[in-house]
Amino acid sequence: MNTMKVNVVTPDGPVYESDVEMVSTKAQTGELGIMPGHIPMVAPLQIGAVRLKKGGNTEFVAVSGGFLEVRPDTVTVLAQTAEKSDNIDVERAMRAKERAEQRLREKQQENVDFRRAELALQRAINRISIAQGKL
Amino acid sequence: MASLRDIKNRITSTKKTSQITKAMEMVSSSKWNRGVNNAKAFVPYMEKMQEVTASIAMGSQDVNHPMLKSRPVKKTGYLVITSDRGLAGAFNSNVIRQVYQTIKKRHKSNDEFAIIAIGRVGRDFFAKQGMNVVLEITGVADQPSFTEIKDITSSTVGMFEDGTFDELFVYYSHYVSAISQEVTEKKLLPLTNIEVPSKPTSYEFEPNAEQILEVLLPQYAESLIFGSLLDSKASEHAARMNAMKNATDNANELIKSLSLSYNRARQAAITQEITEIVGGAAALE
C-alpha cells in the first residue's frame, strides 16, 4: 500500500509526524479523504478530528481549525492547536465545556462573546469526543 | 580608612548580592534554553505558513484582500515587545529608545500613531510619556503558548482590519546568539512583502482562493506576531542571563579587593598593637 508523509504542525511545535495510507478530515466545504498522489490543494478545516489510517488502525488528532495543505507525497495540517487523542487533557476540556455552556446560558447581547463561547464549546466537545473514542 | 567592621559588613553584603545574581543567572539560563527551543519549535509552522500564504497570495494575480493592499496611511500602529521585568541589561531600553526615536522622527502629533505595548516596561514608559497606547498586555508567560496570546494577536490584527491604523510595525529584540541581540523593526501589515519560495506550488483551492485568504491571512499575521514574541522572549532571557553573569563577576571582583583591604587593615591593627606593647614595655624599663 502506498503511503504519504503526514505532518501536523502548530505554533507550539510539531504534534504528529508519520507515514499513513489515508487522511480524512472535515474541511469547511465538507468531508475530505486524501490518499497518496493527490493533486496539490489547500483547504481550511473545521474544528474536528483528523483521522489517519495506517496499517489497519486509525489514529485521531483533534484540531481546532487551521489548514490542510496537500501535495502528492505529503500532507501538512497547519492548526493553531492540535492534540493526539492520547494527549488530550479531558478534565481541562470538560472544564472548558462547562464554562462555555455557562456563558451561552447567560446569553449576553454582545455578538462577539457569544460567537467565541460557541467556538470554545465546539472545541471542548471535539476534544472530549476524540479522547473518549466516540467517533 | 574604613574600620575592620565596615569592611567585613560590605564583604558579607556583596557576597549575598552575588548569591542572588548567581541564582538569577541560573534561572535565566534555563528559561533561555526553553525559550530558544520554543522559538525553534515554531519554525516549521511558520515556514509552512509562509510557503502556503506566498503561493496563494502571489500565485494567483486576481486575488484581492484588504490585508494585502497598502492604503493611504493616516495612522501608524507600533507593536512594541518588551519584558515585564527589568534587570536584563539594555534589553528593554534598546527597544524603547528605537521606537521612541522613530516615532519622534516620523510623527508630529499623538493622533498619527497608536502603540500596542506587550510587556510592562514598555507600557509604563509610553504611558508616562503620554503617548497613545491603545492596547497593552502584561504578564505574558515566559514560555507563552499560542492559545495564551491568541487574544492579543487577534485584536491587533482586528485593529488593522477595522481601520484603527493603516499600517503596523513591530519592534522587538531579535535573538542572534546568547551574547548578542539586536533591535529589529518589521513591517507586519499590510502584507506587501511576503517572501516567495524558490519553487512555488500551484494549488487547487477548496472552495476558492478568496475564501482561503480570508481565513489564512489573519492567521498568518497572528503567527508573525507570535514568532516575534518568541524571538523576543529568547532574547530577554539571554540578555538577563548576561546581565546577571556580569553582576556576579563584578561582585566577585569587589569581594576580592575588599578582602584584600580587610586583610591589610587587620595586619595594620596587629602591627599597631605590637608597637604599642613594645613601646609600653620599653617605657617600663
- pLDDT score, position B198: 62
How confident is residue B18, by pLDDT bands cut at 50, 70 and 90? very high
Q: Could you tell me what percent of chain A has a pLDDT over 70?
A: 93
- pLDDT score, position B273: 94
The answer to whether A111 faces chain B, any CB pair under 8 Å, is no
- pLDDT score, position B145: 82
Q: What value of ipTM does the predicted structure carry?
A: 0.77
Beta bridge partners of B78: B115, B169
How many residue contacts between A and B have a Cβ separation below 8 Å? 76
Q: Which CATH number does the domain housing residue A104 bear?
A: 1.20.5.440
Q: What is the CATH number of domain B25-241?
A: 3.40.1380.10
Residue B200 has pLDDT above 70, yes or no: no
Residue B38 has pLDDT above 60, yes or no: yes
The answer to whether A28 faces chain B, any CB pair under 8 Å, is yes
Q: Are residues A23 and A68 in the same domain?
A: yes
Instruction: State how far the Cα of B120 lies from the Cα of A3, in Å rounded to an integer.
Output: 50
C-alpha cell at B23: 541564582
For an interface test with A, give the residue of B150, B199, B206 to mutate (most A CBs within 10 A): B206
Mean pLDDT for B56-74 is 74
| Lowest-pLDDT choice from A60-64, A69-73, A111-115, B116-120 | A111-115
Is the preceding omega at residue B190 within 30 degrees of 0, hence cis? yes
- pLDDT score, position B138: 86
Q: Are residues A66 and A114 in the same domain?
A: no
Greater model confidence, A52 or B69? A52
Quick one: fold of B4-21+243-283?
A: Helix Hairpins (1.10.287)
Query: How high does pLDDT run on average in chain B?
Result: 87
Q: Are residues A32 and A77 in the same domain?
A: yes
Q: Report the first-to-last Cα separation within chain A, whole angstroms.
A: 25
Chain B residue closest in CA terms to A15 = B41
Comparing CB atoms, the residue among B38, B44, B52 nearest residue A69 is: B52
> Tens digit of pLDDT for each residue in B233-254?
999 999 999 999 999 999 999 9
Q: Are residues A36 and A93 in the same domain?
A: no
Comparing CB atoms, the residue among A28, A65, A69 nearest residue B48 is: A69
Residue B266 Cα to chain centre, angstroms: 47
Spatial CB neighbours of B162, under 8 Å, sequence gap ≥ 6: none
C-alpha cell at B197: 519560495
The answer to whether A43 faces chain B, any CB pair under 8 Å, is yes
- pLDDT score, position B252: 95
Burial zone of B230 (CB within 10 Å; 0-12 exposed, 13-18 middle, 19+ buried):
buried
The answer to whether A66 faces chain B, any CB pair under 8 Å, is yes
Residue B115 has pLDDT above 80, yes or no: yes
Q: Are residues A75 and A101 in the same domain?
A: no
Comparing CB atoms, the residue among B38, B204, B215 nearest residue A39 is: B204
Beta bridge partners of A18: A6
Instruction: State how far the Cα of B156 lies from the Cα of B168, in Å rounded to an integer.
Output: 9
Greater model confidence, B26 or B178? B26
Number of domains in chain A: 2
- Residues of chain A with Cβ-Cβ distance to B203 below 8 Å are 40-42, 69
C-alpha cell at A19: 507515514
Distance from CA of B5 to the nearest CA of A (A): 55
How confident is residue A27, by pLDDT bands cut at 50, 70 and 90? confident
Q: Are residues A66 and A105 in the same domain?
A: no
Q: Are residues A75 and A94 in the same domain?
A: no
- pLDDT score, position B97: 93
> Tens digit of pLDDT for each residue in A92-110?
888 888 888 887 777 655 5
Helix, strand, coil % over all residues of chain B, rounded to 5: 65, 15, 25
Q: Are residues A66 and A109 in the same domain?
A: no
Instruction: State how far the Cα of B18 lies from the Cα of B20, in Å rounded to an integer.
Output: 5
- pLDDT score, position B259: 95
Q: Are residues A30 and A62 in the same domain?
A: yes
Which residues belong to CATH 3.40.1380.10 in chain B? 25-241
Chain A residue closest in CA terms to B225 = A11
Q: Are residues A70 and A105 in the same domain?
A: no
- Residues of chain A with Cβ-Cβ distance to B48 below 8 Å are 7, 9, 69, 76, 78
Q: Please say whether the beta carbons of B238 and B175 come within 8 A.
A: yes
> Tens digit of pLDDT for each residue in A67-96?
888 988 889 999 888 888 887 888 888 888
Range of the domain at A12: 4-85
pTM as predicted: 0.84
B contact set with A (CB within 8 A): 38, 41-42, 44-46, 48-49, 52, 56, 145-147, 150, 201-207, 211-212, 215-216, 219, 223, 226
DSSP A10: E
- Residues of chain B with Cβ-Cβ distance to A80 below 8 Å are 146-147, 150, 219
- pLDDT score, position A111: 58
- Residues of chain A with Cβ-Cβ distance to B56 below 8 Å are 42
